[in-house]
């Protein structure tokens, strides 16, 4: 269990040190923009939570190497080495606020290319007619792998908007990968998935529910890279695992990204990369949590923020359960993804049209009073 607890304690300790020293570095590390469409915090908060996650895993890898388990340490060290460009680009953006999304995606693509070369983490089969022919060549496999890793990393960054949302979802998804890795006899990959969980949870305890620190782009892109690589390594090493299994595990953030691009481009006629405040998680905050509105002080807003994430955790779990049940069946996974997509769109349109199911609506506010209205329309 050292792979779980060592990165947890290291990440937890480093994150605490970042929080406690915020007065000295907050002028460049804190998120001081409180007015953006996806800004829901009430005061400047450090946004370099990825530092603890990355260093938590790094310390474990070095300790594993030192005690003589070189083969085990090699996978962890190479994952960190390959993920460094994605993490560094995001961290520089967190500090300087000057690295464009395109440059961050390019850095993540470099990370994916390094893993393709050093770890042989490549998508060489998909069980999709036509696409299998494309990935049968080295160039086709490289393009598909880079596109997938960059897409997952960007998707994790997109859902990173509320306390505990992306970090808990990534932890649950890595846990699903770890379970299946054990099932197919790959303890090495399972242990490093657990290491990622430990490092992320070390950050989570300070982020949820109090929101004392944010993940930032560095943490989001590195978590997305790690998640994608573990999934790709799983299908690359074990042919019995359906190539759709990693996609089913990550379907919530991936579908959120694809749907957001469609919504912006074809419904709102705006650039796909332009931030807006009508992601599903934003709508849940603005409309379902409208019942939780009390005083607009920092404590009330933080609690309202944190009450949003559990709704999305449940949505994430709804994709992980069928992934665990049908991890070796491409046909069943494809059917489950279709059901997830239909359910997501139906839920989104009900909320956006003020027809939120009553069972989803929180019935009391943060000040302990009853709401003035009890219908489904919240705005």
Task: Reply yes or no on whether the pLDDT at 304 is more than 50.
Answer: yes
Q: How confident is the model at residue 120 (pLDDT cuts 50, 70, 90)?
A: very high
Task: Reply yes or no on whether the pLDDT at 378 is more than 50.
Answer: no
| Top-confidence residue, 229 or 272 | 229
Whether the CB-CB separation of 65 and 73 falls below 8 Å is answered with: yes
Instruction: Say whether the peptide bond before residue 209 is cis (omega within 30 degrees of 0).
Output: yes
Residue 372's pLDDT is what?
39
Whether the CB-CB separation of 278 and 341 falls below 8 Å is answered with: no
- Residue 184 burial (C-beta neighbours within 10 Å; 0-12, 13-18, 19+): middle
The DSSP code sequence of 108-129 is HHHHHHHHHHHT-------SST
| Top-confidence residue, 218 or 265 | 218
How far apart (Å, rounded) are the C-alpha atoms in residues 135 and 290?
Answer: 47
Q: How confident is the model at residue 2 (pLDDT cuts 50, 70, 90)?
A: confident
Q: What is the CA radius of gyration of the chain?
A: 20
- Tell me the Ramachandran region of residue 130: left when phi exceeds 0, alpha when psi lies from -120 to 50, beta otherwise: left
């Amino acid at each position: 269990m050292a792979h779980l607890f060592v990165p947890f304690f290291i990440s937890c300790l480093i994150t605490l040190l970042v929080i406690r020293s915020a007065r000295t570095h907050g002028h460049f590390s804190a998120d001081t923009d409180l007015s953006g469409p996806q800004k829901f915090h009430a005061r400047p908060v450090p946004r370099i939570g990825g530092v603890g996650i990355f260093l938590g895993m790094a310390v474990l890898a070095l300790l594993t190497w030192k005690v003589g388990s070189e083969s085990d340490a090699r996978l962890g060290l190479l994952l960190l080495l390959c993920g460094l460009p994605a993490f560094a680009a995001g961290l520089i953006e967190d500090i300087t606020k000057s690295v464009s999304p395109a440059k961050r995606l390019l850095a993540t693509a470099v990370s994916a290319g390094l893993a393709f070369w050093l770890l042989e983490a490549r998508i060489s089969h998909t069980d999709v007619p036509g696409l299998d022919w494309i990935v049968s060549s080295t160039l086709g496999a490289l393009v598909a792998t880079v596109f997938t890793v960059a897409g997952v990393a960007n998707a994790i960054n997109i859902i990173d908007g509320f306390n505990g949302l992306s970090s808990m979802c990534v932890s649950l998804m890595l846990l699903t990968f770890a379970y299946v890795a054990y099932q197919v006899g790959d303890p090495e990959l399972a242990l490093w998935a657990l290491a990622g969980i430990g490092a992320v949870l070390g950050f989570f305890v300070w982020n949820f529910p109090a929101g004392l620190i944010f993940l930032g782009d560095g943490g989001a892109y590195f978590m997305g890279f790690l998640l994608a690589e573990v999934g790709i390594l799983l299908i690359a090493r074990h042919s019995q695992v359906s190539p759709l299994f990693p996609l089913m595990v990550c379907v919530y953030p991936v579908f959120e990204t694809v749907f957001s691009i469609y919504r912006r481009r074809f419904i709102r006629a705006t650039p796909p990369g332009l931030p807006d405040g009508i992601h599903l998680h934003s709508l849940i905050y603005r409309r379902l949590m409208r019942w939780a509105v009390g005083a607009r002080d920092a404590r009330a807003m933080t609690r309202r923020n944190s009450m949003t994430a559990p709704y999305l955790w449940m949505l994430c779990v709804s994709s992980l359960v069928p992934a665990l049940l049908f991890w070796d069946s491409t046909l069943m996974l494809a059917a489950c993804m279709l059901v997830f997509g239909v359910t997501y769109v139906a839920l989104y349109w009900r909320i956006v049209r003020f027809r939120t199911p009553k069972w989803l609506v929180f019935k009391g506010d943060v000040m302990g009073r009853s709401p003035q209205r009890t219908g489904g329309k919240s705005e």
